[in-house]
């Protein structure tokens, strides 16, 4: 007999939503080679069509994040309608200030006011797009930083960043937010202008309630306790969104949970503990991944299913018993309660849960049998394939 999930777990899983990124469906690769694959989208519309397949088979991915300028179209209202016809919406708008030649020495932190203005104007254009797409969040990740001591004045760069962000923030709509991502290195190697959650927190705190932190799970030094950061930001009311991925070394952008599923479980436990699953707290769960060698659509399916599985396990933690053990100083007992939940195989119960909602028990097998991949392989011949950076 297939085990069933408790009602409270099923209810919270039913509300779970994970945004998928448009760029995950394009070609990607390493620093040395971008690999081309059959069926790769050539337009934003084709990216959205592929993303809709993930939601169709998993029921977990009702929104698609866009990247500007990679996903520029003439009519974003029409793109929104196109997505809705496929059963998905348009989510976070991601800005790009790391590819223009002008940004060689920084964008929002650049010492040249004309270049800072160019970067600010790009973000204001993104806000205009948000009005057309119905998007809530503007996500900012900056490649700004320096490679050598003395190359730039660290403090002045922070001042210029604050000024630039304030200008952008002032133009947000009533129901719009800014989420500021951080990354401790790359492409700047001596110092990055937003290297950690503390810097992002400080900058967003100065802006106001409509600004918060985006936590990318691959953007931390080895050994960083990411779940602590999650707990702290939830405690402070400043965790705006996640970029879920996995890494072995640095910012590998692998399928979330691939390298360390226990870490993903620990993160999701702190999300549960801190109320992050409550829609009222406004935490947006997104993927940020590049599928270099695996198939794109199944790769995204595997990711959202991994997040769902670890969420279910985190919801199974007996928090009352855990609190008793913690207060009693029962180190091994408390650890065992967490481990019991982590080792619970929820996959059969989740398959049954999907079947009860009209979804395939095995989404990847159902997709493989659908013929969609073979169809797009045949149809998408000619034109320019989408890829990272284009």
Residue with tokens 């009519």: 75
Q: Supply the pLDDT for residue 300.
A: 98
Q: Is the pLDDT of residue 179 over 70?
A: yes
Res. 1: pLDDT tops 90: no
Chain position carrying tokens 């692998």? 254
Which alpha helices (H) appear in the chain, and where do they start and end? 7-14, 44-58, 76-85, 113-133, 154-169, 197-207, 226-236, 261-273, 296-315, 319-327, 331-342, 347-355, 363-370, 372-379
Cα–Cα distance, 292 to 173 (Å, whole number): 37
Query: Helix 113-133 vs helix 154-169: angle between axes, to the nearest 10 degrees?
Result: 30
The DSSP bridge partners found for residue 93 are 66, 138
Q: Is the pLDDT of residue 390 over 90?
A: no
More confidently predicted of 255 and 35: 255
What residues does each domain of the chain span? 16-316+359-379
Q: What does the pLDDT look like over 195-253, one tens digit per residue?
A: 999 999 999 999 999 999 999 999 999 999 999 999 999 999 999 999 999 999 999 99
Q: What is the pLDDT of residue 2?
A: 66
pLDDT at position 111:
98
Q: In angstroms, what CA-CA distances link 156 with 109, 163, 205, 213, 251?
A: 8, 11, 19, 22, 27
User: In angstroms, rounded to a whole number, what is the distance separating the alpha carbons of residues 152 and 111?
Assistant: 9
**How does the average pLDDT of the chain come out, rounded?**
97
Fold for domain 16-316+359-379? TIM Barrel (3.20.20)
Confidence at residue 4, expressed as pLDDT on a 0 to 100 scale: 87
Q: How far apart are CA 365 and CA 20, in angstroms?
A: 20
Q: What are 358-389's pLDDT values in tens digits?
A: 999 999 999 999 999 999 999 999 999 998 76
Q: Output the pLDDT for position 242.
A: 98
Per-residue pLDDT tens for 136-164?
999 999 999 999 999 999 999 999 999 99
Q: In 10 A of CB 280, how many CB atoms?
A: 6
Q: pLDDT tens across 65-91, in order?
A: 999 999 999 999 999 999 999 999 999
Residue 389 is predicted with a pLDDT of 66
Residue 324 has pLDDT above 80, yes or no: yes
Rounded CA separation 328/345 (Å): 29
Each residue's pLDDT tens digit, 260-311: 999 999 999 999 999 999 999 999 999 999 999 999 999 999 999 999 999 9
């Amino acid at each position: 007999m297939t085990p069933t999930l408790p009602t409270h777990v099923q209810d919270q899983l039913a509300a779970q939503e994970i945004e998928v990124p448009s760029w995950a469906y394009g070609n990607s690769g390493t620093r040395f080679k971008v690999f081309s694959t059959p069926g790769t989208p050539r337009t934003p519309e084709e990216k959205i069509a592929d993303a809709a397949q993930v939601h169709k088979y998993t029921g977990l991915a009702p929104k698609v994040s866009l990247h500007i300028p990679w996903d520029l179209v003439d009519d974003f209202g029409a793109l929104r309608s196109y997505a809705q016809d496929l059963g998905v919406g348009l989510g976070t708008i991601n800005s790009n200030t790391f590819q223009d030649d002008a940004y060689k020495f920084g964008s929002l932190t650049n010492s040249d006011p004309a270049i800072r203005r160019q970067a600010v104007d790009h973000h204001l254009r993104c806000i205009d797009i948000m009005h057309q797409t119905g998007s809530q969040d503007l996500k900012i990740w900056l490649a700004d930083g320096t490679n050598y001591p003395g190359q730039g004045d660290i403090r002045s760069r922070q001042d210029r960043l604050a000024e630039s962000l304030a200008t952008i923030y002032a133009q947000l709509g009533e129901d719009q937010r800014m989420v500021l991502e951080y990354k401790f290195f790359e492409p700047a190697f001596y110092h990055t202008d937003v290297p950690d959650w503390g810097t992002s927190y400080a900058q967003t705190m100065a802006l106001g309630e409509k600004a918060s932190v985006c936590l990318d799970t691959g953007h931390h030094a080895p050994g960083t306790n990411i779940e602590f950061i999650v707990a702290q930001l939830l405690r402070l009311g400043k965790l705006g969104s996640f970029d879920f991925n996995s890494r072995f070394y640095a910012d590998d952008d692998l399928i979330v949970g691939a390298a360390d599923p226990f870490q993903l479980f620990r993160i999701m436990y702190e999300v549960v503990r801190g109320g992050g699953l409550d829609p009222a707290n406004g935490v947006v769960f997104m993927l940020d991944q590049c599928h270099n060698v695996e198939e794109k659509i199944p790769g995204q399916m595997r990711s959202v299913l991994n997040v769902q599985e670890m969420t279910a396990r985190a919801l199974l933690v007996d928090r009352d018993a855990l609190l008793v053990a913690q207060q009693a100083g029962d180190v091994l007992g408390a650890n065992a309660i967490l481990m019991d939940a982590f080792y619970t195989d929820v996959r059969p119960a989740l398959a049954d849960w999907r079947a009860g909602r009209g979804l395939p028990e095995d989404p990847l097998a159902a997709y493989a049998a659908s013929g969609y991949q073979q169809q797009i392989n045949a149809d998408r011949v000619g034109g320019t394939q989408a890829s990272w950076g284009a």
